[in-house]
Amino acid sequence: MIRLDDGGGHEPIAVVDRNGADESVHCGSALIRHADGSVEVLAGRADVAVYPRSSLKPLQATAMVRAGLRLNARQLALACASHDGSLVHLDVVRSTLAVAGLDASALRTTPDLPLDRAEAEAWLAAGGVREPIAMNCSGKHAAMLATCVANGWPTEGHLDPDHPLQQHITSVIADLAGEPVVHVGIDGCGAPTHMMRLSALATAIGVVAREQGEVFRAMTGHPTLVGGPFRPVTVLMAAVPGLMAKDGAEGVFVAALADGPSVAVKVADGASRAAVVVAAALLRRAGVDVPVEIDHDLAPAALGGGFPVGRVRSLL
């Protein structure tokens, strides 16, 4: 059994204040991998093993492109997305499936409602129910199916870790990270997710950015498709031209510039509200111009009587 405390040493990285007094604290690990390859650990440990969760998607998409997947930039951005579930997002997912001669019935994503609350309410008001295509990972799953078709691999069982698609993805992730994956588990969407050291995750996302290949260009060119217009990951990418960023469940966040640093954050208690705020602080520490005006859009405010009375702030 791999335990989180086996790679412990997490330290305070963010606090939440309310009316001028600190109310909660988040611990975790956070680091910068500079353009020269040096690693600066700002909190915790570089060798803590983490599941990147959806922060893994740019690496998975890179593996699929290496396997011969051919999609346009919008479709590839959706392959890397944890999308809101808007009609725009779902139309692109359907177009990816159409490339492979498939439709939404082929998806094996865990049925769900749209991730965005407003989109979910509209979906339900229209009589919708939980469906695989509405799940925020459906773009990745559509790309996985298209990769199978392009290679003549069976679509049946394509989420099994022993399937040729998943074996190829595991191999490419290890290549990008420069070391073998620590462990393979199953993500919430049903696809394999690869545990790796936090420093290896920063290395891998940095490689994808430096290569400036199809995945990098798709994500930086279509940040709204990667999340949604009000999602922190999209806000951050839109504010910093050329920044590739990806959020992941359980408090993971990665970001990288082609000619600059890459950063990786893991919040020990899984709080996503802290991860993006810390990532923005790391980028600033590395010399990246992240506008301070966006800070209030990167994490939900602490509310009192329905009004903002506090915020999440990085300690780094």
d(CA 246, CA 236): 10
Whole-number pLDDT of residue 8: 62
0.85 cut: is pTM over it?
yes
- Among residues 83, 58, 38, 69, the alpha carbon closest in space to that of 205 is found at 58
Domain locations in the chain as residue ranges: 4-314
Average per-residue pLDDT for the chain: 95
Would you place residue 303 in the very low, low, confident or very high pLDDT band (cuts 50, 70, 90)?
confident
Query: What value does the mean pLDDT take over residues 233-255?
Result: 97
The count of residues in the chain is 316
pLDDT digits (tens, 9 = 90+) for 8-61: 689 999 999 999 998 999 999 999 999 999 999 999 999 999 999 999 999 999
4-314 CATH choice from 3.30.200, 3.40.50, 3.40.710, 1.20.1250 = 3.40.710
The b/e string for 75-96 (b: 16+ C-beta within 10 A; e otherwise) is: bbbbbbbbbbbbeebbebbeeb
Contact 29, 9 (CB under 8 A): yes
Is the pLDDT assigned to residue 105 strictly greater than 50? yes
pLDDT digits (tens, 9 = 90+) for 62-84: 999 999 999 999 999 999 999 99
Query: What value does the mean pLDDT take over residues 234-248?
Result: 97
